[in-house]
Each structure stands twice: as structure tokens, then as C-alpha cells.
Amino acid sequence: MPASSLKGKIEFDKVSFAYAGEHYVLREVNFKVDPGETIAIVGHTGSGKTTIISLLNRLYHIQKGAIRIDDINIEQYDLDSLRKNIGVVLQDVFLFSGSVMDNITLRNPDIPREKVIEAAKLIDMHDFIMRLPGGYDYNVMERGATLSMGQRQLLSFIRALLFDPSILILDEATSSVDTESEMRIQHAIDTLIRGRTSIVIAHRLSTIRKASKIIVLDKGEIREMGTHEELLDKQGFYHKLYQLQFDKKTKALI
């Protein structure tokens, strides 16, 4: 069935998954995301964060449990239309040799220039683009070699906003940028997630304080779930992760 006009309700119901054999990388994962809600997923490398995103996009089939969007098992949706409703912004931004306009629209001739400019203004990138030689016709080198990491990331946000997905996934979107760029990117994220279901995989815990719910993964299992304040008050797994990052920042300033 076509995945048209999705509201964005997501449910993982006792989901277990293994890439091979019985070596499960996710075990009995349960959570729900209401339409328009923003949740964050945190955990050490290898905890299963990216696997959850891959399963939601149906890159793999789960062995146990069910994943539902709008109360319908995702296996029942037409794969192409399902993925058109899910926007993904990765840490490693894909840019190709071509104009800024081409990289934002992915060379889709049906997207008018005015709509691109409108999206760029919302992400606060229009003025920067207009300062480039040629503006929106500026030639971006392979992999965006002439742009900074933060600028490449912000271009990918314009692209995501332009395609207006029902569900937005941000996978470590601020982990490789400097503090100044992080502030601009945080503004862009606030614009992107407004009014749509969003899942944020975060390395920098400072970027997810406003999430409706934070899921803490460890070795494929959900250890804790709650708001930033609730999890800090529990003095548990999330508190240890947060303190570890805070201590690193403090030492860096000494």
C-alpha cells in the first residue's frame, strides 16, 4: 500500500534484530513516538542507534517484533513511497560536483528556484549562498571540498526541508562541526523538526535537551527513557554519559 499523507506515529514493538545468526544487536526494543514529537537516541558506539534508523527505512528485515507507522506494519507499505516520507540527514553529507541549486534539489527540475530560496531563508543560509561567486549557481566541488563541514551540513538541511518529509531522522548531525557552526545548526534543527516527527541520534548531549523523550541504548537494549531532567535526576546511565562529556569539556578549557 502507498505511504501517503503519513501522520508520523512510530512504534517499535518488542523488536529484536541480528545481522547474522543469533548475534542480536537489538533486543526487545520498545518505544513509541507520537506525531510531531521529537525523540533522541543516545548511547556508546555499537549500542544499536544506527541500526534502529536502518530498520525504520526497511534496509533490513527484523527477526522478531514489529515496527509500525501510523499503526500499520511498515512491511505493508510500498517501499519507495515509505522512503519518500522519511528524510535522513547524516553526519557525512553527500554533495556532488554541480551547482548549489543542483545539490539542494538533487537535479529535480520540478522544484522551482523560489521554493529553494524560501527554504534557504528558513535555515538562515540564503545570505551565505548569495555571497558565493554565482550564488545558487556556484559550483560545489566533489564532496563539497570548497565548503566547511558546517556549511555542507546546513545545505543538507535545506535539502531536507525542501522535500518536507513526514518523518525526519538526524544522525549525528552536529558531531563533526565547531561550536560556532553548532549554534547555527541547532537553529536549523529547530526549524526542521517543527511540526514533524523527528528522531535525533546524538553524540553531543547538549543538543538534545529539548527532546520530548530521550532513549538511552546500551548493547542493543533500552536502559533508560525520559526527559533530559528526569534522566539526570535518576543518576543512572544517562547521567554518567552526560558527566563524561561535561568533564571532557571542562578539561579542554583548563
Which pLDDT score, from 0 to 100, does residue 208 have?
82
- Between CA 160 and CA 168 the distance in angstroms is 8
Query: What cell was used for 196?
Result: 514533524
- Domain of residue 171, CATH code: 3.40.50.300
Residue 254 predicted with pLDDT over 50: no
Question: Do the domain assignments include residue 2?
Answer: no
Which pLDDT score, from 0 to 100, does residue 253 have?
32
Number of domains composing the chain: 1
Return the SS3 of 7.
coil
Question: Do the domain assignments include residue 191?
Answer: yes
Question: Do the domain assignments include residue 37?
Answer: yes
pLDDT digits (tens, 9 = 90+) for 115-169: 999 999 988 899 999 999 999 999 987 766 778 888 888 888 899 888 889 999 9
Name the packing angle between helices 149-163 and 179-193 (round to 10°): 0
Which pLDDT score, from 0 to 100, does residue 180 have?
60
Which pLDDT score, from 0 to 100, does residue 251 have?
40
Helices (H), 31-177: 49-56, 79-84, 100-105, 113-122, 126-131, 149-163
Containing structural domain, residue 106:
10-253
Q: Are 222 and 31 in contact (CB under 8 A)?
A: yes
In the predicted model, what is the mean pLDDT of residues 42-61? Answer: 91
Question: Do the domain assignments include residue 71?
Answer: yes
Which pLDDT score, from 0 to 100, does residue 88 have?
87
Question: Do the domain assignments include residue 131?
Answer: yes
Question: Do the domain assignments include residue 5?
Answer: no
Least confident of 72-86, 106-120, 168-182, 220-234: 168-182
What values do phi and psi take at 36, rounded to 5? 85, 0
Cβ-in-10-Å burial (0-12, 13-18, 19+) of 151 comes to buried
Question: Do the domain assignments include residue 186?
Answer: yes
Higher pLDDT, 223 or 20: 223
Return the half-sphere exposure (C-beta side, CA atoms, 13 A cut-off) of residue 155.
27
Return the SS3 of 86.
strand
Q: Choose from 88-97, 99-108, 197-206 the range with maximum mean pLDDT.
A: 99-108
Residue 243 predicted with pLDDT over 90: no
Percent over 90 (pLDDT), the chain = 55
- One-letter amino acid of 194: R
Residue 215 predicted with pLDDT over 70: yes
Which pLDDT score, from 0 to 100, does residue 182 have?
66
Higher pLDDT, 78 or 184: 78
Question: Do the domain assignments include residue 146?
Answer: yes
Cα separations in angstroms, 238 against 3, 212, 247: 35, 15, 14
Average pLDDT, the chain: 86
Query: What cell was used for 91?
Result: 553526519
Q: State the DSSP H helix or E strand holding residue 97, giving kind and residue range, or none if neither.
A: none
